[in-house]
Structure 1
Amino acid sequence: MTEEKNYRASTGIDEFYYGVLDEVTNTTAAVERVKFLQTITVEMPQEPVRAYGDNITAELAVSSGNTSVTSGFHKVPEQDKKVLFGLEENEGLIAYGSEDTPPYVAVVFAKTYEDGSKEWVGLPKGMFMRSNITGQTKGDGVEFSSEEVTAEFMDRTVKGFENEKSAIFGRDAKGQTTNRDALFQAIFGQAHPSVVEGGTETTPEGV
């Protein structure tokens, strides 16, 4: 029986998680959440490459470009900036420098739908670039600032797939977590933070 096609468009984003990768095992020791994700764009460019002969196209191939991520947050906590950007801290002071070395990280986030379903997006291996420092004067009204961070991702070996991958997707119906859990295992090598021993679920603190 043919599976029914789904034409619902996403209406929101939620649950942005990252973990620092062990480059040998491709797993993470811990998964961290950054709350209040506002926007995210994953660019996976491709362009056709043509071979010519007899004044016509003889063959076509596809060239894939770099996977880039631009994400906007209400605020990125300092604890996460230290990890994502590879910053140094000394007695409460956090410093940026030309020799900062951001670690390889993996990322998972969710696109949400009005019917309660979620599409999970996993990015297996990449690096975040430090964000700009901006500010503006307060005027007659109150305007909240936001923070934009960018990252570059690459292909990585992911268990269950024959070739290396740079993005993996899985969708769950409302109340279901099967593909979410499989994606967390594939990307981070561990369960979603809400899954505890015994297979039951609890809401993570602060969610």
Structure 2
Amino acid sequence: MAKMSIGLKDLYYAKLLTDVRDGATTYSTPKYLAGAISANLNPNGTSTTIYVNDAPSESITSQGLLEIELGIDALESDVAAEIFGYRIDNNGAILEGNSSNQPYIALMFRSETSDGGYKYYVLYKGKIQPPSEELQTRGESVEIKTGSLTGSFVNRASDGEKKVTVHSNDEKVQANPEILTDWFTQVYEPDTTVAP
């Protein structure tokens, strides 16, 4: 049976601390980002066809920048400061003057599926753009304004990975349940060891 997405929840992030080519990638402990409303992932892949003797002969594909658009409820000031590289002054005001220190982050979330399980996601290395703000005076009916974030994710230098997903009802995952219990307490690292 196909596993169709019917929900979205548990949106977390972790700061990328190190990412060394042919070495290790390390992250801070994941933190709650915001209440999740929607997520739209766009892999931006391209395909080029090579023609030989007046007919298509080969098709070459490549992965592009992974873009995400997130609908959220609201960001706490300490979260906004951390993911956008802002500062908070002694009075608690957010100083947005310089975001040159904006860190790379990993983004984690999960989506309930029609088979009663969850599909878990990690986007490994990206930056989130500060949201635009749309404000409106209150009229006879209240119109709620939710937040929207966009982000761009690239391959890690250490191993070339960009995104990983796993489904809770898959046989190998059920044999290793700690994969899911640890999903939001540490950034998942792929197990690429080859069994003897």
Same fold (TM over 0.5): yes
Q: Check if 1:169 corresponds to 2:168.
A: no
Q: TM-score, normalised by structure 2?
A: 0.80
Q: Distance in 1 between matches of 2:54 and 2:185?
A: 51
Query: Alpha-carbon deviations, 1:153-172, whole Å to 9, x = none?
Result: 011267xxxx6221111111
Distance 1:35 1:133, change over 3 A: closer
Conserved 8 A contact 2:12-2:30: yes
Conserved 8 A contact 1:102-1:129: no
Query: Alpha-carbon deviations, 1:37-65, whole Å to 9, x = none?
Result: 00011111222112233222332210222
Structure 2: which amino acid aligns with 1:10? Answer: S
Conserved 8 A contact 1:21-1:106: yes
Distance 1:35 1:93, change over 3 A: closer
Distance 1:165 1:66, change over 3 A: same
SS of corresponding position for 2:5 = coil
Match of 2:192? none
Distance 1:34 1:143, change over 3 A: same
Structure 1: which amino acid aligns with 2:57? Answer: A
Distance 1:90 1:8, change over 3 A: same
Distance 1:50 1:182, change over 3 A: farther
Match of 1:195? none
- TM-superposed CA distance for 1:134, in Å, is 1.9
Alignment: residue pair count = 179
Match of 1:112? 112
Q: Distance in 1 between matches of 2:33 and 2:106?
A: 13
Q: How does 1:1-207 map to 2 (within 5 A)?
A: 6-24=1-19, 25-91=24-90, 92-156=92-156, 164-173=160-169, 177-181=177-181, 187=187
User: Share of identical aligned residues, percent?
Assistant: 20
Q: Distance in 2 between matches of 1:80 and 1:27?
A: 19
Structure 2: which amino acid aligns with 1:134? Answer: E
Distance 1:8 1:52, change over 3 A: closer
Is the deviation greater in 178-187 or in 80-89? 178-187
Is the deviation greater in 118-127 or in 18-27? 18-27
Could you tell me which runs of 5 or more consecutive residues in structure 2 were left unpaired when the two chains were aligned.
190-196
Q: Distance in 1 between matches of 2:86 and 2:54?
A: 55
Is the deviation greater in 143-152 or in 111-120? 111-120
Alignment RMSD, CA only? 2.5
- TM-superposed CA distance for 1:126, in Å, is 0.7
Match of 1:196? none
State the 4+ residue runs in structure 1 displaced beyond 3 angstroms.
176-179, 181-189
- TM-superposed CA distance for 1:98, in Å, is 4.9
Distance 1:51 1:63, change over 3 A: same
